[in-house]
């Protein structure tokens, strides 16, 4: 049995098997029911948003058919007082910092080859490890021009050549010893002073010059006891065509 539907001034017959599917029987006199939408807010989204923006969502929500506007329950759920920003933080998992583990070949007194940086190719004497995992080395300065400095352990090759370190006071050589002094000048003054300092020749502080001389004197007294060790430290390491580094004995 077909059903007749009226559309404006015209009408149309709808088959019975499609009439119930397309046009279900409803009572037009009954008002439409108000729909309820549940809003799920993640913690990350709440942290990124301001309270003002969260409350602004109420204006974007259309009122229900009974005239009752949508009420925000964010303050009630999270239980914090109204502020301009959310004042709680999320705990983050951080990796625990452990002391750097050096290679077994890195023993104080070992002659190292620097692979990168200003002094790449130079042979230096390894003095001691520092707290942050870097190595304290020196040329000595009188032999190859390498001062007391810090070197990353990844950029050195440990050779089989070792010397017996003399009794040296190396306690003062730490990270604070190499730290730069912070400038207390304003941004503009600091900019012009930096440009002026770049054009001038840098001078080494007197205390560092005295420390370098003391370490060099102690090391040279030991190095001179081994034949050809002085010329070995003065020479620069390099590879030529046909060299096979993986077959070399360092």
Which whole number is the average pLDDT over 43-53? 51
Same domain, 76 and 163: no
- Report the share of the chain in percent with pLDDT over 70: 55
Query: What pLDDT band is residue 168 in, cutting at 50, 70 and 90?
Result: confident
pLDDT at 187: 63
In a domain, 120, yes or no: yes
pLDDT at 11: 77
pLDDT at 131: 81
CATH code: domain of residue 130: 2.30.30.30
Residue 26, pLDDT > 90, answer no
Same domain, 222 and 147: yes
In a domain, 249, yes or no: no
Same domain, 67 and 129: no
pLDDT at 68: 55
Q: Are 141 and 124 in contact (CB under 8 A)?
A: no
Same domain, 230 and 107: yes
pLDDT at 24: 60
Same domain, 76 and 159: no
Same domain, 76 and 142: no
List the single range of 57-61, 113-117, 154-158, 223-227 with lowest mean pLDDT.
57-61
Can you list the pairs that 105-108 forms with residues at least 24 positions away whose Cβ atoms lie under 8 Å? 105/158, 106/135, 106/153, 106/156, 106/158, 107/162, 108/165
Question: What does the alpha-carbon distance between residue 131 and residue 100 come to, in Å, rounded to a whole number?
Answer: 8
Q: Does 10 or 76 have the greater pLDDT score? A: 10
Residue 73, pLDDT > 60, answer no
Residue 200, pLDDT > 50, answer yes
Domain end call among 28, 60, 86: 86
Question: What does the alpha-carbon distance between residue 70 and residue 134 come to, in Å, rounded to a whole number?
Answer: 61
User: In a 10 Å sphere around its CB, with 0-12 CB exposed, 13-18 middle and 19+ buried, how is residue 137 labelled?
Assistant: buried
Residue 79, pLDDT > 60, answer no
Same domain, 80 and 111: no
Contacts for 24 with CB less than 8 Å, ≥ 6 apart: none
Q: 3-state SS of the chain: helix, strand, coil percent to 5?
A: 30, 15, 55
Residue 127, pLDDT > 50, answer yes
In a domain, 119, yes or no: yes
Q: Does 52 or 120 have the greater pLDDT score? A: 120
Same domain, 54 and 106: no
Q: Are 45 and 74 in contact (CB under 8 A)?
A: no
Which whole number is the average pLDDT over 5-15? 71
In a domain, 194, yes or no: no
Same domain, 64 and 146: no
Residue whose token pair is 């990350």: 44
Which whole number is the average pLDDT over 134-154? 92
- Domain that includes residue 69, residue range: 36-86
In a domain, 112, yes or no: yes
Following DSSP, what letter does each residue of 63-127 receive, concatenated?
Answer: PPTTSPPPPP-HHHHHT----SS---------PPP-PPPPPTT--TTEEEEE-SSTTTT-EEEEE
Which whole number is the average pLDDT over 44-56? 52
In a domain, 94, yes or no: no
Same domain, 78 and 120: no
Same domain, 53 and 140: no
Provide the domain count of the chain: 2
Spatial CA neighbour of 158 closest among 125, 203, 194: 125
The torsion defined by the Cα of 100, 105, 109 and 114, in degrees rounded to 10, comes to -80
Greatest mean pLDDT among 4-8, 79-83, 213-217: 213-217
pLDDT at 223: 92
The 3-class SS string of 144-184 reads: HCCCCEEECHHHEEEEEEECCCCCCCCCCCCCCCCCCCCCC
Same domain, 40 and 163: no
Domain end call among 27, 52, 86: 86
pLDDT at 95: 60
**Entry pTM:** 0.56
In a domain, 24, yes or no: no
Token code pair at residue 118: 């200003």
Question: What does the alpha-carbon distance between residue 8 and residue 77 come to, in Å, rounded to a whole number?
Answer: 50
In a domain, 132, yes or no: yes
Token code pair at residue 33: 């029911």
Which whole number is the average pLDDT over 158-182? 87
Question: What does the alpha-carbon distance between residue 232 and residue 160 come to, in Å, rounded to a whole number?
Answer: 13
Mean pLDDT (the chain) is 74
């Amino acid at each position: 049995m077909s059903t007749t539907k009226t559309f404006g001034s015209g009408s149309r017959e709808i088959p019975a098997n499609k009439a119930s599917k397309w046009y279900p029987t409803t009572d037009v006199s009954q008002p439409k029911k108000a729909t309820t939408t549940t809003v799920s807010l993640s913690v990350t989204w709440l942290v990124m948003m301001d309270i003002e923006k969260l409350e602004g969502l109420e204006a974007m929500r259309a009122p229900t058919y009974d005239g009752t506007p949508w009420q925000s329950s964010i303050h009630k759920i999270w239980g914090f007082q109204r502020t301009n920003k959310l004042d709680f933080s999320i705990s983050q998992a951080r990796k625990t910092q452990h002391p750097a583990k050096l290679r077994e070949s890195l023993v104080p007194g070992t002659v190292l080859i620097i692979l990168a940086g200003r002094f790449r190719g130079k042979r230096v004497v390894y003095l001691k490890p520092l707290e942050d995992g870097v190595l304290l080395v020196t040329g000595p300065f009188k032999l190859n021009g390498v001062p007391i400095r810090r070197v990353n352990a990844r950029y050195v090759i440990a050779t089989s050549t070792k010397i017996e370190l003399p009794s040296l006071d190396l306690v003062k050589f730490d990270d604070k010893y190499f730290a730069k002094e912070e400038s207390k000048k304003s941004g503009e003054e600091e900019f012009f002073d930096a440009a002026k300092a770049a054009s001038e020749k840098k001078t080494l502080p007197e205390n560092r010059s005295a420390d370098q001389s003391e370490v060099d004197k102690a090391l040279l007294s030991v190095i001179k006891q081994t034949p050809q060790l002085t010329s070995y430290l003065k020479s620069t390491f390099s590879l030529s065509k046909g060299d096979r580094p993986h077959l070399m004995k360092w």
